[in-house]
Amino acid sequence: MSKRTEPQVSAEKSFSRYAILIAIIAAIGGLLFGYDTSVISGAILFVRKQFGLDPFQTELAVSAVLAGAALGAALAGYLSDRFGRRPVLLVNALIFGVFAVVTGMSNGMELFLVARFLVGLAIGVTSMITPLYIAELAPAAIRGALVTLNQLAIVTGIVVAYYVDYLFAGSNDWRAMFISAVIPSILLLIALIFLPESPRWLAARGRFESAEKVLSRLESSEEVRRNMEELHRITEADRLRFWDLLAPRFRRPLIVGIGLAIFQQITGVNTIIYYTPTILQMGGYHSASTAILATVLVGGVNFVATIVSLFLLDRVGRRPLLLIGVAGMTFGLARLGYSFGARHVSPAGVLLDVVVYLASFAVSLGPIFWLLISEIYPTTIRGQAMSLATVVIWIADLLVAITFLSLVQAFGARLSFWLYGAACVAAFVFSWKLVPETKDKTLEQIEASW
């Protein structure tokens, strides 16, 4: 292999150190996504006391970020298709940093909600564009692993948020919990300056020469030639508009994306992520610090399970992991509901059930949803199609988060978790019947298959 093709290790595996570097840098956005959605988990115990919140106001404080995320996801598709993936990510990093500080400096509930809403706006944008950007730059053979780096970054952000919550729990300093997010925001802003634009976005705008230059740094010359031929063919044949997703040809990928978005949320994952200390306190962990410390353990398991999925997605495939993981989620929720219905609730049992559920999610529905929606949509409208699926996931997330405490009050913890378990059964059936395998296929090959 000549020096010109380095840092590729082999043309056969389409390996590229440069692609991995890009994925790692872009995934800092995923870290902010995970941190800013999860830091509320521990902080809400103190925010609730600071502002004297009742259960509904507590749900509102937790869910404001999700309302912003839904709007951000709705805007992200248009903005990324209009201006490019990289410029939107740059502006987004700035929003993350500014409103992390504003949240921490809030002296009233109104400003707190506005700041969290605007942080949510940035979360919604990054949740859609980051996996899209990585997928459009990643060689096919390692696309699953590279896109899952974003999911790994998300769970890393969750673990870091839990740990930061624990560090400041002793001093009740919820403000520092939020302001800490400014550090990765600055790192992301600086790093993005040096990254390229997506070659698929460039090709969709007719800038084939620029697209080829980017691809030549990611893949072997043979793969660049093949991908450029496919990009010419696809972009010339598919001058699509958003409404073309409703055509029979794309009906199945549209249903798959929206369906998985709904199931990822109504199966209850973010009731666990956002309310872990609260759930553990319900299960017998009476100290806020102890509950938050146990939450760090839960986040660590989530992190390890996501690493496992990173190594398996391009080997085992998307579909088998999805089915196995959803089955594990069903078992975990069934056990969790049983634990809360027992005469004497075991704190260790509740913690174990949460761990089983979250580990199963982390190897399956967690990363695979974001990976699949970055793969299955046509090049010329991929941003807008992903935006639709991402809006759906944030709306579903908002509905689940804002109703969890009320659901537990009305029906009890046991029935509430069993309802989420029933949703897991429906998710398994849906995945079995409709979700395709996309392992080892280029984005253009997947598009042509529809």
Q: How many degrees, rounded to 5, is the angle at CA 74 between CA 446 and CA 47?
A: 120
Residue 87 to residue 215: CA distance in whole angstroms? 19
Q: How confident is the model at residue 2 (pLDDT cuts 50, 70, 90)?
A: very low
Query: For residues 250 and 376, is the Cβ–Cβ distance under 8 A?
Result: no
Tokens of 90: 């740059």
DSSP-H helix ranges across 39-173: 40-51, 55-83, 85-104, 109-137, 143-169
- Average pLDDT for 30-59: 82
DSSP-H helix ranges across 138-217: 143-169, 174-179, 182-192, 199-204, 208-216
Exposed / middle / buried, residue 1 (Cβ in 10 Å: 0-12, 13-18, 19+):
exposed
Query: For residues 265 and 361, is the Cβ–Cβ distance under 8 A?
Result: no
Q: Kindly compute the dihedral angle of the four CA atoms of residues 394, 400, 403, 406, in this order, to the nearest 10 degrees.
A: -160
- Average pLDDT for 236-253: 68
The reported pLDDT for the residue numbered 115 is 93
Residue 438 to residue 414: CA distance in whole angstroms? 37
Q: Count the Cβ atoms, other than its own, within 10 Å of residue 3.
A: 5
Residue 235, pLDDT > 70, answer: no
The reported pLDDT for the residue numbered 102 is 93
Among 12-26, 196-210, 309-323, the range scoring the smallest mean pLDDT is 12-26
The reported pLDDT for the residue numbered 274 is 65
Among 97-101, 332-336, 372-376, the range scoring the smallest mean pLDDT is 372-376
- Average pLDDT for 408-434: 90
Give φ, ψ of 52 to 5 degrees: 60, 55
Give φ, ψ of 401 to 5 degrees: -65, -35
Query: For residues 161 and 34, is the Cβ–Cβ distance under 8 A?
Result: yes
The reported pLDDT for the residue numbered 186 is 94
Query: For residues 250 and 241, is the Cβ–Cβ distance under 8 A?
Result: no
The reported pLDDT for the residue numbered 292 is 67
Looking up tokens 């560090």 gives 167
Higher pLDDT, residue 408 or 286: 408
Q: Convert 264-288 into a string of H (helix), E (strand) and C (coil).
A: HHHCCHHHHHHHHHHHHHHCCCCCH
User: In the CATH scheme, what is the code of domain 15-449?
Assistant: 1.20.1250.20
Tens digit of pLDDT for each residue in 141-176? 778 788 888 888 988 888 888 788 888 877 888 899
Tokens of 366: 């967690």
Residue 52 to residue 54: CA distance in whole angstroms? 7
Query: For residues 196 and 84, is the Cβ–Cβ distance under 8 A?
Result: no
Query: For residues 392 and 138, is the Cβ–Cβ distance under 8 A?
Result: no
Q: What percent of the chain has pLDDT over 90?
A: 22
Contacts of 72 (CB under 8 A, 6+ apart): 120, 121, 122, 123, 124, 125, 127, 128, 394
- Average pLDDT for 280-303: 72
Residue 449, pLDDT > 70, answer: no
The domain segmentation of the chain, as residue ranges, is 15-449
The reported pLDDT for the residue numbered 353 is 86
The DSSP H or E segment spanning 240 is none
Residue 366, pLDDT > 70, answer: yes
Q: What percent of the chain has pLDDT over 70?
A: 86
Highest mean pLDDT among 12-16, 42-46, 81-85, 170-174: 81-85
Q: Chain-centre distance of CA 73, in angstroms?
A: 12
Exposed / middle / buried, residue 379 (Cβ in 10 Å: 0-12, 13-18, 19+):
buried
Exposed / middle / buried, residue 163 (Cβ in 10 Å: 0-12, 13-18, 19+):
middle
Instruction: Give, in order, the Cα–Cα distances in Å from 337 to each of 163, 412, 422.
Output: 27, 9, 12
Among 2-6, 43-47, 74-78, 292-296, the range scoring the smallest mean pLDDT is 2-6
Higher pLDDT, residue 111 or 386: 111
The reported pLDDT for the residue numbered 179 is 92
Residue 4, pLDDT > 70, answer: no
The reported pLDDT for the residue numbered 73 is 86
Highest mean pLDDT among 53-67, 227-241, 329-343: 329-343
Residue 348 to residue 298: CA distance in whole angstroms? 12
Contacts of 236 (CB under 8 A, 6+ apart): none
The reported pLDDT for the residue numbered 288 is 65
Closest CA to 81 of 385, 422, 370, 395: 385
Closest CA to 51 of 138, 110, 97: 110
The reported pLDDT for the residue numbered 214 is 86
The reported pLDDT for the residue numbered 329 is 94
Q: What is the mean pLDDT of the chain?
A: 82
Residue 231, pLDDT > 90, answer: no
Tokens of 409: 């009050």
Number of H helices, E strands in the chain: 20, 0
Q: Is the pTM of this model over 0.85?
A: no
- Average pLDDT for 82-92: 92
Contacts of 184 (CB under 8 A, 6+ apart): 28, 31, 32, 35, 96, 157
Among 56-60, 82-86, 159-163, 172-176, the range scoring the smallest mean pLDDT is 56-60
Among 96-100, 256-260, 276-280, the range scoring the smallest mean pLDDT is 276-280
- Average pLDDT for 381-402: 80
- Average pLDDT for 333-347: 78
The reported pLDDT for the residue numbered 11 is 44
The reported pLDDT for the residue numbered 380 is 66
Higher pLDDT, residue 282 or 352: 352
Closest CA to 420 of 349, 358, 347, 345: 358
